[in-house]
Chain A
């Protein structure tokens, strides 16, 4: 069945032009065109980002800070100017509030270990949601176990949205920090993060935002959001793997002890003690991923130049189109809500194991992810072990959606028991 795309923004030439920027999208797998629908796990990289890595290593590579030679200056300038660029993209009031990490996982571990280790006492409470990625759950479990604090959860309705009616009763005078996922990686739900931040503020409790799935789809303004901490990973926003951002209000960062120690984070070292550098260096021990950092700045510039508003409008229409397409297949149940979601669709299929489905989709060139998507407690709560997740980016086309729906229909009828 042919479904008609309605708006003029869904213009093939526009998407095709963007697709030309991403060389890997033109890969053939088993002789078929690659249909890459695993963007929630990692995004593909535009040529400008790949070029920036090459350019850095070709013309600028050196270790940063403290070097007196020419290249050390080049590399330091590139690294620190990337920090300024990223601060501008996030509208951070002070570029020293941008800490570079290996990724969101390291950012969350840093917060739990450093802030949590300093501030949590026995019987204090940490409040997270029942929808967290393991990376925003396990570090809190560990620090709670160490400090004697308790971990509490904002419950999740069966429709995959948060039950915020319990928020005020879950916040007690023992609640010391709230950490919440903005958008679910496994089921795509957009949480009312402003409401959670407001509840934290009203009670003088700092709020951490896991923005991993928000950053690829929306512009982030940390001042407008007014949380205390925010993390995301570079590789999900069209930048290399191994680089991520932790933004935090300077008032917190200045108070917190270092997370790792070694080079770059010290002020002075004596045999019997050390004093630490100011932020951001205090939290960037060792030689960082310099090339990844400068390429992250390039990736964020690239997306901004494409036009956030237009990308968002396109993705919104793509999301609705996928929902309609998948809804035509009666065996498919999509986890999470129809509206207030990103185009990441976790499918449960009556009588078909996600692993079998994923394998046969792969043979048709379609890359989806199967499993629990690092959210075992959430999937258990929703009564499933594993799903097949198709997640889209702005470079995915309506034709790819049609191909997915068609291939799913054929594959399910073949595999259904």
Chain B
């Protein structure tokens, strides 16, 4: 078992925030939209097809870089709820070690009730987003291993 990472802490934070809102999904979506509104602006040069996440009904853009062995994510969407979901995902994975991102389990989506409540199309979109982030993280991790002195 890996020791508790920052990812786990952030997941717990989110889960308790959602619990405080309660079971009313109108309120939950309102909260998700608020999270999206707080996202920093997405850098315009990256708003292109290369940074688009495939498999979303709305447009989702993701950009990842690595600073000091930590993954730096930026994201955006043209739909408010989806932008909120981008914010959720970024809040969990941003500024984490690539290895932690790769290894993180995905039970938080279930614990937030997202798995049960999101429509299949949207669930696919969210999965695609997370898959994309893990791909970036895997690539960074491979890069880091190459750069490590033997």
Seen from chain A, the residues whose Cβ lies within 8 Å of a Cβ on chain B are: 30, 353, 355-356, 359-360, 363, 370-371, 385-386, 415, 417
Contact = CB atoms under 8 A, between A and B. Distances in A.
B81 interface: yes
A356 B33 CA distance: 10
A353 B58 contact: yes
A363 B26 contact: yes
Given A371-B57, A386-B57, A363 B82 contact: no
A271 B109 CA distance: 57
A417 to B, nearest CB: 8
Contact of A359 (B29, B59, B78): B29
B106 to A, nearest CB: 22
A282 B25 CA distance: 53
Interface centre among A356, A370, A417, by most chain B C-beta atoms within 10 angstroms, is A356
B25 A356 contact: no
Contacts of B81: 355-356, 359
A371 B57 CA distance: 7
A355 B25 contact: no
A286 B70 CA distance: 58
Contacts of A363: 25-26, 29
Contacts of A415: 80
A331 to B, nearest CB: 15
Contacts of B82: 353, 355
B21 interface: no
A355 B59 CA distance: 11
A370 B29 contact: no
A164 B126 CA distance: 44
3 closest residue pairs by CB, A with B = A353-B79, A355-B79, A356-B80
24 contacts: A30-B25, A353-B58, A353-B78, A353-B79, A353-B80, A353-B82, A355-B57, A355-B58, A355-B81, A355-B82, A355-B122, A356-B33, A356-B79, A359-B29, A359-B81, A360-B26, A360-B29, A363-B25, A363-B26, A363-B29, A370-B57, A385-B59, A415-B80, A417-B80
Interface of B: 25-26, 29, 33, 57-59, 78-82, 122
Contacts of B29: 359-360, 363
Nearest to A415: B80
A341 to B, nearest CB: 25
A338 to B, nearest CB: 28
B94 to A, nearest CB: 24
Chain B, interface SS category: helix
A360 B25 CA distance: 9
Contacts of A386: 57-58
B69 to A, nearest CB: 36
A355 B80 CA distance: 9
Nearest to B118: A359
A354 to B, nearest CB: 8
Contacts of A355: 57-58, 79, 81-82, 122
B86 to A, nearest CB: 13
A357 to B, nearest CB: 9
A287 B58 CA distance: 40
A30 B24 CA distance: 9
Contacts of A371: 57
Contacts of B25: 30, 363
Contacts of A417: 80
A285 B82 CA distance: 45
Of B29, B33, B57, most buried by chain A (CB within 10 Å of CB) is B57
A356 B80 CA distance: 6
Given A353-B58, A355-B57, A371-B57, 8 more contacts: A355-B58, A355-B79, A355-B81, A356-B33, A359-B81, A363-B25, A386-B57, A415-B80
B31 to A, nearest CB: 13
B48 to A, nearest CB: 16
A417 B82 CA distance: 15
B58 to A, nearest CB: 5
Contacts of B79: 353, 355-356
B49 to A, nearest CB: 14
Nearest to B121: A371
Most buried by B among A30, A353, A363: A353
B146 to A, nearest CB: 40
A360 B122 CA distance: 14
A269 to B, nearest CB: 43
B56 to A, nearest CB: 9
A31 to B, nearest CB: 10
A244 B59 CA distance: 34
B73 to A, nearest CB: 22
Contacts of B80: 353, 356, 415, 417
A360 B82 CA distance: 13
B53 to A, nearest CB: 14
A360 to B, nearest CB: 7
Contacts of B33: 356
